[in-house]
Amino acid sequence: MKKNTAITIGLMWLLLAFSFTQMIGVAIVNGNEASIIWAVNHSYPNDYETQATNYTCEVIYDYFDDNGAYERLENNYVEATESSAFYAEVENCEDNYSYATVFYKGHSCLPWGPCYEGGSAHYHYRLADNDGFEPETNQIWDNWIHDKLNNLVHGFVFLWSCFDDEMGGVVNFDHAYGFPASFFNRSDLSADAYAYLGSDNSDVCYIGFTNVSKNFVEPTGYGDPEYNYGDFCRTFYGYATSSSAYTIRLSLLYSSLITIGCSYSLSDLYQGYNVTINNVDYFSRQVVYGDANEDLPD
Ligand SMILES: [Zn+2]
């Protein structure tokens, strides 16, 4: 019964979306696009989360493959998610492609610092690579991503990992901190791009998590059988890659309607949720920075 309702709602939104397509037309983007998928296979709470991570990377890859516009499409799950490969791929995309999008599923290290480069104290952010958290060579550093920028082709970055919501800042041409500032070379992005229906004119969008990210295998509490947050992530990419009519905002909305049973703005991802670790409560939520009117080129 619930499933039928979900499908009905999904179809309603599909029809609505197609009428949007008619109204605004389909953006034509020429150029060569890159989509790079990264994930690690360690330190998850159970094997199911590891399997869901592997499966989700494959599904996202297939969605981009079906789209057909992505001349460079890489699923670097497990072995290839090495920090050195990550920097090399950022550089390759910057030097050879007109647009790049990145998805990463894994873990953050604790912020590093303070660093006083440029005169004011700031902290650096790091993702774990597939070898683990330590030593530092296993970490994907914000500043080393920024170091590889050249043509500013990165348009959409989606990090499904904890503690990666720091907008950061650009200290100078070869020093930045925080993942948004490091991927996009700017830190003036709209901090609530989903709610802000206008454009911040950044042409970029970033999705991350304040504090603790959801596990893919966690049920959303909706559907029969219940959907989980992996379903949310995959459904988001299903919409986002299917047509440029599906902006990042619309893709979040439709995925939430189908897999969480409410609009994204009413979902716990947007509203926030508490996670208790070692008796400490972490108020956590997904963040969307920049311009959610952006779409993935096709
Ligand atoms: Zn620094």
CATH code of the domain in which 202 resides: 3.40.50
How far is ligand 1, taken at its centre, from the CA of residue 110, in Å?
Answer: 15
- 115 lies in a domain? yes
- 223 lies in a domain? yes
How far is ligand 1, taken at its centre, from the CA of residue 124, in Å?
Answer: 6
Q: What is the pLDDT of residue 27?
A: 39
How far is ligand 1, taken at its centre, from the CA of residue 79, in Å?
Answer: 29
- 176 lies in a domain? yes
CB 186 within 8 A of CB 149: no
How far is ligand 1, taken at its centre, from the CA of residue 159, in Å?
Answer: 21
- 253 lies in a domain? yes
CB 105 within 8 A of CB 53: yes
Domain count, the chain: 1
Domain assignment of residue 169, given as a range: 2-290
- 296 lies in a domain? no
How far is ligand 1, taken at its centre, from the CA of residue 143, in Å?
Answer: 7
Closest-CA residue to 236 (of 214, 217, 215, 256) = 256
Average pLDDT per consecutive 10 residues, the chain (298 residues; last block may be shorter): 44 44 39 94 96 98 96 91 96 97 97 95 97 94 97 98 98 96 98 95 97 98 97 98 96 98 98 96 98 95
- 106 lies in a domain? yes
How far is ligand 1, taken at its centre, from the CA of residue 170, in Å?
Answer: 9
Cross-sheet strand order for the sheet of 70-75: 70-75, 33-39, 99-105, 154-160, 205-210, 280-290, 273-277
How far is ligand 1, taken at its centre, from the CA of residue 208, in Å?
Answer: 21
How far is ligand 1, taken at its centre, from the CA of residue 122, in Å?
Answer: 6
CB 244 within 8 A of CB 295: yes
- 62 lies in a domain? yes
How far is ligand 1, taken at its centre, from the CA of residue 123, in Å?
Answer: 7
Q: Radius of gyration over alpha carbons of the chain, in Å?
A: 18
Q: What is the pLDDT of residue 31?
A: 67
Q: What is the pLDDT of residue 298?
A: 87
C-alpha 33/C-alpha 68 separation (Å) is: 10
CB 100 within 8 A of CB 154: yes
- 298 lies in a domain? no
How far is ligand 1, taken at its centre, from the CA of residue 87, in Å?
Answer: 17
Q: Which residues are placed with Cβ below 5 angstroms of ligand 1, an ion?
A: 115, 117
How far is ligand 1, taken at its centre, from the CA of residue 263, in Å?
Answer: 38
pTM: 0.89
